[in-house]
Amino acid sequence: MWTIPRINAALEKRQANYQTSMVEVEGKINQTPISILIDPRASLNYISPNLVEKCKLPVEEFANSWLVQLATGAKRKVISFVKNCAVAMDQF
Query: What's the pLDDT tens digit per position in 24-62?
Result: 889 999 989 998 888 777 777 888 888 999 999 999 999
How much is the mean pLDDT over the chain?
Answer: 77
The torsion defined by the Cα of 71, 77, 81 and 82, in degrees rounded to 10, comes to: -50
The pLDDT of residue 80: 92
Of the pLDDT bands very low, low, confident and very high (cuts 50, 70, 90), residue 3 is very low
pLDDT at 18 over 50: no
The pLDDT of residue 14: 53
What is the pLDDT averaged over residues 60-84?
Answer: 85
Pairwise CA distance, residues 8 & 81, whole Å: 18
Pairwise CA distance, residues 67 & 72, whole Å: 14
**At CB < 8 A and 24+ separation, what contacts does 30-34 make?**
30/55, 30/56, 30/57, 34/87
The pLDDT of residue 20: 55
